[in-house]
A = this chain, B = another copy of it.
């Protein structure tokens, strides 16, 4: 039975010079005093931060700044942001960067509207009831946080990575200029491409199998990204291709591809342990584990893997051999990942052979000491996880 909610209120302003609209957007959404939140030096070096500062100054919107957000954004920075905003009377948060900066901003927004400690909201001690408004200027198409409900923060004490999901976490607006992605290094571009494909695939593989429209839209996004990935890697300043990839990152994670699909998300959870243990890039970790996950769960619904093979990967359908077609589709995805410089095994990911005790440890953590399972398409227990990690090694 097809039942779903769909709510994507973020106002997207997309294209060359879209930064010129930042001040008007902040005013439209009620911002009177801003936190300008960003990461490292790339936004400074590219001149983007100066463009934003200039915009805000000309519009007479006062702001304070907080930079230094790192990939896998930290709770300590979130707390610093909350204190700064309270002290300065900030009422609107503007993220300039990729998913990490946006998530850090969202966490500050939650914290400002909550009386207790913000971490409560990430460990289930309390449910967020409100959040300060957040807008963003996106520079890295990958995480999809600019339109998604998601927000992931790492607590340095215990290296706990936790999320706080919900419609309160939707950005009010997202400014997206594909030109700002021209300088992304190839590896980061490829990680982003993998991440957005996986956001689509995690929903495409669901226990439901009846939402043709969502399937067709998901395949359209996957095909587009797959076709244009080599183009942006070969010609990083190709506006047209960068634009498709950038917009695909948003559509992949704003829930359009989740309408009527409850999703799987095993690959994300299996990868979570990889990046936790080895500090690898999220996108690369996903590529390293997906093919093994796919081969392991394929018998659950072979026809779905045949769909992917034929409709996305361009594999010829051998109607007498669905399993063979399905497996050729998975192999074609591996070839694609390799072609954009992504690993398809843990060995390729971490540059050495993984030890068996490391596999056991990851499966133990991923299953909460064997007490919980993952996966909506196929339920996986601790034993399944170990097997998939071994297949992927």
Contact = CB atoms under 8 A, between A and B. Distances in A.
Interface of A: 1-18, 178, 210-213, 216-217, 219-221, 223-224, 227-228, 239-240, 243-244, 247-248, 251, 256, 259-260
This protein's copies in its complex: 2
A369 B221 CA distance: 44
B220 A251 contact: no
Contacts of A256: 256
A14 B12 CA distance: 24
24 contacts: A1-B15, A2-B14, A2-B243, A3-B14, A3-B15, A3-B16, A3-B17, A3-B18, A4-B15, A5-B13, A5-B14, A6-B12, A7-B12, A8-B8, A9-B11, A212-B224, A213-B220, A213-B221, A213-B224, A216-B220, A216-B221, A217-B220, A217-B251, A243-B260
A231 to B, nearest CB: 10
Contact of A5 (B3, B12, B17, B259): B12
B2 A11 contact: no
Given A211-B244, A213-B221, A216-B221, A11 B1 contact: no
Contacts of A178: 2
Nearest to A243: B2
A283 B216 CA distance: 24
Contacts of A4: 12, 14-15
Given A4-B14, A7-B11, A14-B259, A212 B227 contact: yes
